[in-house]
Amino acid sequence: MKKQFVYWDTAAEPITTKWYLKPLMWILSAPVAAMHRLKITKTGMEGVKGPYVLLCNHNSFFDFQAVTKAIFPQNANYIVAIDAFVGFPGQKWLMQRVGCIGKRKFTNDVNLIRQSKKVIEKGNVLCIYPEARYSLVGTTAVLPESLGKMCRMMGVPVVTFMCHGNHINAPCWNQKDRGVKGLEAELKMLITAEELRQLSVDQINDRIVEAFQYDDYAWQKEKGIHCRFKGRAEGLHRVLYQCPHCGTEFEMSSKGDILSCAHCGKRWRMSELGELQAMEGNTEFSHIPDWYEWERSNVRSEVESGHYDSGVLPVRVLTLPDNTPIWLGDGMLQHDMHGFHIKGKTADGEEFSEDHPVPSKYSCHVEFAYKQFGELLDLSTIKDTWFFSSADKRFCLTKFALATEELYRDYRRKEGKACRPGLA
């Protein structure tokens, strides 16, 4: 069955943005930036026209609109996940012609280096979102260790574009635009071409990791920016899946501005400043990222003790060979100390299986509301992407993401190749 699929050409030549599409990009970006009163600061960018490598943090779709406004009218090519090309007829054609290069998330694609060099040779900006997914709680996600080496190979300046407040306005766990105003972004020269030649790969990585430290909830509180959206906590249980009061997993729920645990009944209210306050008893975590990191520490303990196991979960499986999702069949998924394991059958009764061992994935991609498909875990190889959905409450996207990262770190540690801080 899969042999009949048409697969995405990951080696395709990058296309420079067509001149007739530039006004459309401005129209889709500038008004939204104005609506949110986005303030863009430029540091060390005097006279810089490109080419350069542009590294951006990633919290919502508004990231793309913000960066378009910041660098307009410069030509840029954007490294984009193939699943972003799914949508209306002609979306693939359009996105390719505004400069997007489709890639599979969390895979080592050798074509990327050749395509990136082509972008630089054309004098364009190479725009990369190295976190490779929306930040789950508005803080820095793990960055690939290969990033410093890639930047050095390009031989051009490295610039960062760091947005603040995009997670507060439209968090990945509930992407409704909250109308938050006073968003900020900084376009900053991080490493000049001359410095790039003098620094080691480790030193380049260290600079990038330092530049990528951010916390949208701390920023919100510091700036005193209120989010008056009535449903501001709805969906928060998707990332805060474990109750800190009773320790129970997968029994959290949220409605309006209230987060609650169905097991012990404890409730927390999310304030307009993004802080949590227990409605009875002690407030275990007022800062959302602290709760999230506590969950990570618990997953790390499971991994280090050798007991991590999601159990065998029933799933529906979609495949994305090109830019159209296709239902593959039903199956079973398990995530354990050895990685992800999938087995199932197509509608025609053909068996399929796939394994993603721990060394092959330093992180994974999750979607809390992917188009009409809802909550999905997606795992990619160079050739294909499989999406998984399930009604089983143990099918917890955030725990999958945390466990994938902690399993990889544990593997590296055991191999005597511990990851540098902030890198995988």
Peptide bond into 51 cis (omega under 30): yes
> pLDDT value at position 301?
98
Start-end of H helices in 133-254 = 147-154, 166-169, 193-198, 201-211, 216-223
> pLDDT value at position 1?
41
Q: What is the pLDDT of residues 282-302, one digit of tens each?
A: 999 999 999 999 999 999 999
Q: For residue 196, give every residue at least 6 positions away whose Cβ sits within 8 Å of its Cβ, in sequence order, or none.
A: 151, 152, 155, 156, 157, 158, 204
Start-end of H helices in 110-155 = 111-121, 147-154
Query: E-strand spans in 136-284?
Result: 158-164, 184-191, 252-255, 258-261, 267-270, 276-278
The candidate with the shortest Cα–Cα distance to 314, out of 340, 332, 292, is 332
- Do the beta carbons of residue 284 and residue 278 sit within 8 Å? yes
CATH second-level architecture of 313-414? Roll (2.30)
- Successive 10-residue mean pLDDT values, the chain, 424 residues: 73 92 92 95 93 96 94 94 88 92 91 96 96 95 94 97 97 96 98 96 96 98 97 98 98 98 98 98 98 98 98 96 92 98 94 96 94 92 94 97 97 90 84
Domain range annotation of the chain: 9-223, 236-304, 313-414
Displacement of CA 149 from its chain's centroid (Å): 21
State which fold the 9-223 domain adopts: Glycerol-3-phosphate (1)-acyltransferase (3.40.1130)
Any idea which residue has 């012609």 for tokens?
A: 97
The Cα–Cα gap between 343 and 389 comes to 14
